[in-house]
Homo-oligomer: A and B are copies of this chain.
Amino acid sequence: MENLGVVHENLDQKVYLIIKNKIIERQLLPGEKIPQDKLARELGISRTPLVSALKYLEKEKLVEAKPRRGFFVRLFTIQEMVSIFELREVLEGLAARRAALNITDTQIAKLKDFSKAFQISKSFPDVGSYAKVDRGFHNFVTEIGAKEFLKNILQTYNIISFSYQVVSSEGLVRPPAETIDEHLAIIDAIGRRDPASAEELMRQHFRHSIATLKNEIENGTQKRAANVEHIQFGKSTTPSDELRTPKTPNVLSTKP
């Protein structure tokens, strides 16, 4: 008999999500060593699934493993951020193309919501809420345009870039005034189901940000530390969704 849809999740998967959140919510700071014993005791588990989770995070580049010395929350230089944005340029370009090809009418309605939210940001400038819509939008494109392999990769690198505090506040590379219209153009292309334009506009969008980053390197405006603030996880990609900051996860028990 088959186990229809019954998903067994191992401890390490839960721990993986918890640590990921700890990093994103800055309970674990970039460069900091991850205290295995303390964390394991805190979660009421042994080091085995904890180390396992850390190895997952290592593959995702969120932590760095130094053999015989432990795991450290990863730091990114601005040069590395440029590389990551170059990756995102082509990957989200692909996601935008696929989104334009696959989008359903219901999803187009959600796109319109984003459009509205961006328009509002235009009239009532507020960097904080704009940054949220920005993240939500990129996550939404990933959600509808990417699956399997592409989605996995993009989610990782989106988290890294959103969590890197660059230049202005809220982790934005450029001010809203510069990016709102670019977002609107991308939304329009996807909504029109025009894959070629969607891809090209998304890539342009990133190229502009990359140019800004490179400019900062030249001007020595470099911020050295990675930083995180208010990252949204899970499915909350619609602008209408929650805007509160996520709660801290509850402690685990080995029991169901």
Contact = CB atoms under 8 A, between A and B. Distances in A.
A236 interface: no
A52 B150 CA distance: 24
A163 B53 CA distance: 28
Interface stretch (A17-25, A86-94, A186-194, A237-245): A86-94
A223 interface: no
Interface string A141-178: 00000011110010001000000000000000000000
B90 A149 contact: no
A112 interface: no
Contact of A86 (B55, B68, B94, B153): B94
A149 B56 contact: no
A110 interface: no
Contacts of A90: 90-91, 93-94
> A interface, by DSSP: helix, strand, loop or mixed?
helix
Interface string A47-63: 00001100110011100
Nearest to A203: B90
Interface in A68-123: 68, 80, 83-84, 86-87, 89-91, 93-94, 98
Given A83-B147, A87-B91, A89-B94, 14 more contacts: A8-B67, A8-B68, A10-B67, A55-B55, A55-B56, A59-B59, A61-B149, A80-B149, A86-B150, A87-B94, A87-B149, A87-B153, A90-B90, A90-B91
Interface of A: 7-10, 12, 51-52, 55-56, 59-61, 67-68, 80, 83-84, 86-87, 89-91, 93-94, 98, 147-150, 153, 157
7 contacts: A51-B52, A55-B55, A83-B147, A84-B149, A87-B149, A87-B153, A90-B93
